[in-house]
Amino acid sequence: MFKLNNKVAVVTGASRGIGKGIAETFAKAGAHVVCVSRSENVLKSVADAINGSGGSASVYACDVSDLNAYQDMIKDTVANHGSVDILVNNAGITRDTLIMRMSEEDWQTVIDINLKGAFNGIKAVTRVMMKQRAGRIINITSVVGLTGNPGQANYAASKAGLIGLSKATAKELASRGITVNSIAPGYIATDMTDAMTDQAKETLNSQIPLGRIGSPDDIAAAALFLASDEAGYITGQTITVDGGMVMI
Ligand SMILES: NC(=O)c1ccc[n+]([C@@H]2O[C@H](COP(=O)([O-])OP(=O)(O)OC[C@H]3O[C@@H](n4cnc5c(N)ncnc54)[C@H](OP(=O)(O)O)[C@@H]3O)[C@@H](O)[C@H]2O)c1
pLDDT tens sequence across 133-145? 999 999 999 999 9
Does ligand 1 lie within 6 Å of residue 37's CB atom?
yes
Architecture of domain 8-237 in this structure: 3-Layer(aba) Sandwich (3.40)
Look at residue 200 in the predicted model and tell me its pLDDT: 87
CA–CA dist 33, 200 (Å, integer): 34
pLDDT (tens digit per residue) in 4-33: 999 999 999 999 999 999 999 999 999 999
CA–CA dist 112, 28 (Å, integer): 31
| Residue 74 parent element (H or E) | helix 67-81
pLDDT band for 248, please (50, 70, 90 cuts).
Answer: confident
pLDDT (tens digit per residue) in 47-68: 999 999 999 999 999 999 999 9
- Residue 15 Cα, ligand 1 centroid: separation in angstroms? 9
Look at residue 80 in the predicted model and tell me its pLDDT: 98
- Residue 105 Cα, ligand 1 centroid: separation in angstroms? 18
Half-sphere exposure of 115 (CA within 13 A, CB side): 19
**Residue ranges of the domains in the chain?**
8-237
pLDDT value at 1 more than 80: no
Angle at 114 between CA 104 and CA 243, to 5 degrees: 120
Residues catalogued as catalytic: 155
Average pLDDT of the chain is 97
| DSSP 8-state code for residue 113 | I
Look at residue 44 in the predicted model and tell me its pLDDT: 98
Look at residue 240 in the predicted model and tell me its pLDDT: 98
The rounded radius of gyration (Å) of the Cα atoms in the chain is 17
Asked if 159 contacts 145 with a C-beta cutoff of 8 angstroms, the reply is: yes
Residue nearest (by alpha carbon) to ligand 1 atom 7? 142
- Residue 110 Cα, ligand 1 centroid: separation in angstroms? 11
Asked if 114 contacts 155 with a C-beta cutoff of 8 angstroms, the reply is: yes
CA–CA dist 157, 163 (Å, integer): 10
Probe target for ligand 1 pocket from 192, 193, 208, with the most ligand atoms within 8 Å of CB? 192
